[in-house]
Amino acid sequence: MTPRFRAAAVVLDIEGTTSATRHVTDVMYPYSRRRFAELLTERQDEPEVRAAVEQVRELLDEPEADARRVERALGEWLDEDRKVTPLKTLQGIIWTEAFARGDLTAHFYPDVVPALRRWHERGARLYVYSSGSVSAQRSWFGHAAEGDLRGLVSGFFDTRNAGPKTASASYRAIAAVTGVPPADTLFLSDRASELDAARDAGWLTGALVRPEEPHQPAGRTEHPAARSFTEIDLVLAEGTS
């Protein structure tokens, strides 16, 4: 398990790839769940909250859904770990403020930050593509135990600005923004469905199969696999700097 990639850009999934799923589900999710009611009632007139609530109502096909109904839907999506865009937007508002207050810190597996620094120093461009909102991603990378990592990252993508992670069109949209050729762009993720979509867009793909993660893929992945970032051998693609 030492996959070697020749790439100019690396696009990172967060949960299950750079960071532990358990930190997200056991720390971040309960934190947001406890604060939805207050956000939906006391801050309902804020444009971002209002737009997200409208999206929830559309998804439920219940145009009259009140704050309690919306809160119940958010709770059910959390229980099912559904990566629904308005849920992620509302969580992002709560988490961003919590990180700023010092209520939350991010989690990165110990192999990740040294590898990101190494790849960045070598000239690779690093991006993030996660179901978590861009605002949440920025806070996550800004509040690592290892310090503020945002300087390593050239751009952040989520399901709002790029589209669903299982659609190859999303990866084409990201490549159009980064300007890096798809064949020189490596996507690292723990989910086969996301890696399949990236590969269909012409990207290089690497599967993170971490023994610590609760949901291990059944059977062998078709994508080059690594148990940690330490095992990934990244060579900078020629003609890029």
Ligand X SMILES: CSCCC(=O)C(=O)COP(=O)(O)O
Binding mask 128-167 for ligand X (x = CB under 6 A): --xxx---xx--x------------------------x--
- Quote the least distance from Cβ 25 to ligand X, whole Å: 9
* Residue whose tokens read 């937007």: 89
Q: Which two tokens stand for residue 191?
A: 């989910």
Q: Please name every residue paired with 137 in a beta bridge, in sequence order, or none if there are none.
A: none
- The reply on whether position 184 binds ligand X by CB under 6 A is no
- Quote the least distance from Cβ 146 to ligand X, whole Å: 15
- Quote the least distance from Cβ 135 to ligand X, whole Å: 9
Question: Which region, left, alpha or beta, applies to residue 81 given φ > 0 means left and ψ of -120 to 50 means alpha?
Answer: left
Distance CA 156, CA 84 (A): 18
Residue 217 buriedness (CB in 10 A; 0-12 / 13-18 / 19+): middle
- The reply on whether position 13 binds Mg ion by CB under 5 A is yes
Q: How far is CA 165 from the centre of its chain?
A: 9
- The reply on whether position 16 binds Mg ion by CB under 5 A is yes
- Phi first, then psi: give them for residue 220, nearest 5 degrees: -85, 140
Distance CA 15, CA 38 (A): 26
- The reply on whether position 184 binds Mg ion by CB under 5 A is no
DSSP 216: P
- Quote the least distance from Cβ 142 to ligand X, whole Å: 10
Q: Which of 98, 204 has the CB closer to ligand X?
A: 98
- Quote the least distance from Cβ 190 to Mg ion, whole Å: 5
Q: How many CB atoms lie within 10 A of CB 42?
A: 11
Q: Which of 15, 158 has the CB closer to Mg ion?
A: 15
Q: How many residues bind ligand X (CB under 6 A)?
A: 14
Q: Which of 57, 138 has the CB closer to ligand X?
A: 138
- The reply on whether position 158 binds Mg ion by CB under 5 A is no
- The reply on whether position 22 binds ligand X by CB under 6 A is no
CB 213 within 8 A of CB 20: yes
136 binds, among Mg ion, ligand X, none (CB under 5 to 8 A by kind): ligand X
What residue ranges bind Mg ion (CB under 5 A)? 13, 15-16, 190
